[in-house]
Amino acid sequence: MAFPATRMRRLRRTDALRSMIRETELSVSQLVYPMFVTAEGGPRTPIASMPGIDRLSIDAAVAEARSAAELGIPAVLLFGLPASKDAEGSGAWDDEGIVQLATRAIKAACPELAVVCDLCLCEYTEHGHCGIVRTTTEGSFNGVDNDATLELLARTAVSQARAGADAIAPSDMMDGRVGVLRAALDEEGFSDLPIIAYSAKFASAFYGPFREAADSAPAFGDRRGYQMDPGNLREAVREAQLDAEEGADVLMVKPALPYLDVIRAVKEATGLPLAAYNVSGEYAMIKAAAAAGLLDERAAVLEALTAIRRAGADIVITYHAKEVARWLAQ
Ligand code: PBG
């Protein structure tokens, strides 16, 4: 006579047994907290689409970094909003630029906190593209000049390294940038500095709130020429393998929740440490739904981040980091 197996149900009955057989843990030690540092305005300017996240002056960023460190968050990821923008994005590699100044100030105040510098030109270019723009003979947008952009990214990486960055995270998606950055950093004496490569970065609608926060929406054209098509999994794995071959220390998939299968595939194909970026739009969706009383914010955030870990991410970059640290400590 066949009885239903009851082993699973028995193990789920008590908290103690459930925790013994839990396959995936979400811990504050895996979280990275992104911050927007600005050269203009007051100490804190709220970002309308991202409740709870502000644009920060350098002093406010130091205070925010300190509170993240006190909560046990091991790393912050810095984005800079410069005082002025130009065609090449020269604010990115200015040794006195906003990210460089913020990195120095945060490292001086909290030496134990890792500072990761996002490396891209789109916050610094007046057109909002991630590199040098090419135009047709008629003067219309003709994509980004990959190889010319690499040179500027290398300058920026070295400048961020000199400012005291603990890791560099290129998010531009130019081909060959990991190899070029690795060579440039090695040549300048930063051979120990890790590269966290945004390897599979999709051309995503979920970056909308970030582009408001960083004022980096492209003024014309779009990023589909250099960011990935959301339908492509094999290409994502290939991108990740190329970054690994070029010397990336950590790979990244971005966004996270709509791309859990990509996280799993990249993890299995490379075995390298893997980060997933729970991006601005993913954050905004939960915040908006919770504010409307449509779901339980704490439960939804913990479930979402656990799912990202279960898919294969070692590191989770999330704007929820501080609230999650508080919840996990309770
Ligand atoms: C810069 C960059 C973007 C994000 C991180 N780095 C925006 C973009 O590519 O448009 C998005 C992060 C987020 O949405 O939270 N290239």
Domains of the chain by residue range? 24-329
How do residues 114-145 score in pLDDT, each as one tens digit? 999 999 999 999 999 999 999 898 888 888 99
Cα–ligand 1 centroid distance for 2 (angstroms): 55
141-144 vs 133-135, strand pairing mode: antiparallel
CA distances from 243 to 58, 197, 252, 301, 324 (A): 32, 7, 10, 30, 30
Ligand 1 atom closest to residue 210's alpha carbon, by position in its atom list: 14
**Predicted local distance difference test score (pLDDT) of residue 5:** 67
The rounded distance, in Å, linking the Cα atoms of 54 and 36 is 7
**Predicted local distance difference test score (pLDDT) of residue 255:** 98
Does the pLDDT of residue 329 top 90, yes or no?
yes
211 residue type, one letter: R
- What confidence category does residue 173 fall into, taking pLDDT thresholds of 50, 70 and 90? confident
Average pLDDT score over residue span 303-322: 98
- Which residues does the annotation mark as catalytic? 201, 254
* Beta carbon of 120 within 6 Å of any ligand 1 atom: yes
Cα–ligand 1 centroid distance for 206 (angstroms): 9
Q: The domain 24-329 is classified under which CATH number: 3.60.9.10, 3.40.50.720, 3.20.20.70, 3.40.50.2300?
A: 3.20.20.70
* Beta carbon of 93 within 6 Å of any ligand 1 atom: no
- Which range, of 5-19, 112-126, 239-253, 272-286, averages the lowest pLDDT? 5-19
How do residues 183-242 score in pLDDT, each as one tens digit? 999 999 999 999 999 999 999 999 999 998 888 888 889 888 889 999 999 999 999 999
Q: Hey, which bits of 50-157 come out as E strands?
A: 54-56, 75-81, 114-119, 133-135, 141-144
Would you say the C-alpha torsion 311, 312, 317, 323 has a positive or negative sign?
positive
How do residues 221-238 score in pLDDT, each as one tens digit? 988 888 999 999 999 999
Would you say the C-alpha torsion 55, 58, 63, 69 has a positive or negative sign?
positive
Cα–ligand 1 centroid distance for 286 (angstroms): 18
Does the pLDDT of residue 1 top 70, yes or no?
no
* Beta carbon of 118 within 6 Å of any ligand 1 atom: yes
Cα–ligand 1 centroid distance for 14 (angstroms): 42
What is the Cβ-side half-sphere exposure of residue 140, based on CA atoms within 13 angstroms?
3
- What confidence category does residue 158 fall into, taking pLDDT thresholds of 50, 70 and 90? very high
- What confidence category does residue 41 fall into, taking pLDDT thresholds of 50, 70 and 90? confident
* Beta carbon of 64 within 6 Å of any ligand 1 atom: no
* Beta carbon of 207 within 6 Å of any ligand 1 atom: yes
Q: Hey, which bits of 39-132 come out as E strands?
A: 44-46, 54-56, 75-81, 114-119
Ligand 1 atom closest to residue 123's alpha carbon, by position in its atom list: 1
* Beta carbon of 319 within 6 Å of any ligand 1 atom: no
